[in-house]
Structure 1
């Protein structure tokens, strides 16, 4: 493997590692702020955007109010308080998507370009399957 290929792979995998650290930190904050379970719907392909106006926020908040998480732990929470916990959970989920893209797209590119040894291909492939 040439020096430039090694550099590209190193930069790519370093970025993935940095994003994993970020998702762990945001996940920890999500947990510590009891923000988990604030998103009662998750549309993996179509649900990229958070609520963008007051009507959408109220609609999402109303759905949240129907779930035990609100009824048992957060009853009486205001819409502004809900927005705060929602955005932590949303950020955590979006970071997960970003990690997936930052791993998969370059993985395919580097594989098609022949950047991987057979051993590295299988190691990263297993990481992809576990990921």
Structure 2
């Protein structure tokens, strides 16, 4: 494999490794702050944008107030407290999206350009 290809693959895989470390750290913080259920819907595309106005925040908080997490464990939580846990969950989901893009877009490009050795390909797709 040419050195140029090896450098590009090393950089790509190194960035992915750092993103995964960040995901583990943010995931741990999300868990430790009990933030994991603060976003009540999974919208892969539109959900990437957090609430942008006070009305959007209020709507998200009202949706959260309807789930058992709130009614049984966090009744009385303020909007500001909700925003704190929301940001942890949002960051965790954002990192998941980012890792997916950071893997698949370069993978397709490297594969089409022939940068990925045959011995590495099964490890990357399996």
**TM-score, normalised on structure 1?**
0.94
Aligned to 1:65: 65
Larger mean CA deviation between 114-123 and 88-97 belongs to 114-123
Task: State the distance in 2 between where 1:54 and 1:115 align.
Answer: 48
Moved over 4 A (4+): none
- CA-atom RMSD in angstroms: 0.6
CA displacement, residues 31-65 of structure 1 (integer Å, 9 cap, x when unaligned): 00111111101201222100000000000000100
Residue 35 (structure 1) aligned with residue 18 (structure 2) = no
Residue 104 (structure 1) aligned with residue 98 (structure 2) = no
Residue 3 (structure 1) aligned with residue 8 (structure 2) = no
Aligned to 2:21: 21
Aligned to 2:79: 79
SS at structure 2 position matched to 1:118: coil
Q: Give 5+ residue unaligned stretches, structure 1.
A: 127-131
SS at structure 1 position matched to 2:45: coil
SS at structure 1 position matched to 2:37: coil
Aligned residues: 126
SS at structure 2 position matched to 1:41: coil
Aligned to 1:129: none
